[in-house]
Amino acid sequence: MGEAVPPTMRAAVLRSVKDLAVEERPVPEPGPREVLIQVRSVGTCGSDVHYYEHGRIGDFVVRAPLVLGHESSGVVVGRGSEVTRHEVGQRVSMEPGVPCFTCAQCRAGRYNLCPDMRFFATPPIDGAFCEYVVLHEEFAHPVPDSMSDDAAALLEPLSVGVWSSQKARVGPGTRVLVTGAGPIGLVALQAARAFGAAEVVVTDVLPQRLETARALGATTVNVAETSLADAGVEADVLIECSGFPPAIGEAIRRVRRAGRVVLVGMGGDEIPLPLAHVQSFEIEVTGTFRYANTWPTAIALATGKEVDLDRLATHHFGLDATEQALTALARDENTIKAMVHPDRP
């Protein structure tokens, strides 16, 4: 083993709503099939911000101190007794959810739907805003040296984008509408283009977000100024990333016959559905929950030139400034992803 692993580490712990503090904790011991990973980069996600501000997301409630952060990368610094996949020193992107491997959903290959999933930063499982984590070796994915720590961390949101294009069956020539140009909209856009979409129209109300979407290859519509109908938008596929219920119905009406609607954004618990349009056009409407088996594709896309993840990492903080990372978007709407670097103070 290279550098000696210390017995304790620093971890940014959410103690209660809007109360986050850096604490000293024992470094976790890897189980037989687990690797110990020194964390290098962690993206802050809307879900982290939501837990920080509200202490819960739906039925998931923070009842005990919780470490947030689930978009992470690092380097292997220790191995459990039965680990065969990784050597110490391997740089990895972390797939943050480890399923049970044995239930009906896991056996069917839909492990994202495993009811016994243990997922980083989802109560009561701790996440990656800390110096070291343990992870099952199969969910620590090696990344090439050409990929930055930030890009390796952002393979997690890219996986959401890849999964949305897979669920929507985006292929060569597909015309795609992505509603919402936040971080998830921007990875959905990039994945759809990499899957061969003929055109990707991206909507938002913030000009600077639309500018980023255009730089990444989108045609854009500012829906604060122009309706989708007036803009003449028609799509085979809608990938809904805004989570803004009033906008979703209008977007679904722009989907063509036999089109697909994939609901990625999280907004209200219930949305109005233009049922007559969905029925007469035989439109498929589906939800998505995280992803399954997406890392190999995400790594390939981010290694090539199809996808630019580094561009999304706009703000950087050390571990002591994790709270600033979680509030970065609220302070500056130019923030796309605020990254936390636990190996820095």
Which residues are at the interface with Zn ion (CB under 5 A)?
A: 45, 99-100, 103, 106, 114
Judge whether 261 and 249 are in contact, CB under 8 Å.
Answer: no
Instruction: State which amino acid sits at residue 337.
Output: K
In the block, residue with structure tokens 């007794």: 81
Minimal distance in Å, beta carbon 46 to Zn ion? 7
Q: 180: which 2 tokens? A: 């919402």
Q: Which is nearer to Zn ion, 99 or 180 (CB)?
A: 99
Q: What minimum distance in Å lies between the beta carbon of 291 and Zn ion?
A: 11
β-bridge partners, 79: 35
In terms of CB distance, is 106 or 283 closer to Zn ion? Answer: 106
Cβ-based nearer residue to Zn ion, 59 or 230: 59
Which is closer to Zn ion, CB of 45 or CB of 299?
45
CB closer to Zn ion, 133 vs 228: 133
For the CB of residue 69, give the shortest distance to Zn ion in the complex, in Å: 9
- In the complex, what is the shortest distance from the CB of residue 339 to Zn ion, in angstroms, rounded to a whole number? 13
- Residue 31: other Cβ atoms inside 10 A: 14
Q: Which is nearer to Zn ion, 78 or 183 (CB)?
A: 183
Dist. CA 81–CA 30, nearest whole Å: 9
Output 33 or 79, the one with its CB closest to Zn ion.
33
220-249 residues labelled b (16+ CB within 10 A) or e (exposed): bbebeeeebeebebebbbbbbbbbbeebbe
Give the shortest CB-14-to-Zn ion separation in angstroms. 16
Sheet holding 66-67, edge to edge: 19-26, 8-16, 66-67
Residue 94's DSSP bridge partners are: 72, 140
Rounded Cα distance between 67 and 111, Å, is: 23
Q: Kindly report the CA angle at 163 between 336 and 179, in degrees rounded to 5?
A: 50
User: Which letter does DSSP use for residue 314 in this model?
Assistant: E
Least distance to Zn ion from the beta carbon of 113, Å?
Answer: 8
Closest CA to 268 of 289, 286, 242, 238: 242
Nearer to Zn ion, 252 or 292 (CB): 292
Nearest distance in Å: CB 82, Zn ion: 20
Q: How far is the CB of 120 from Zn ion (least distance, A)?
A: 10
Nearest to 87 by CA among 97, 95, 79: 79
Contact 151, 302 (CB under 8 A): yes
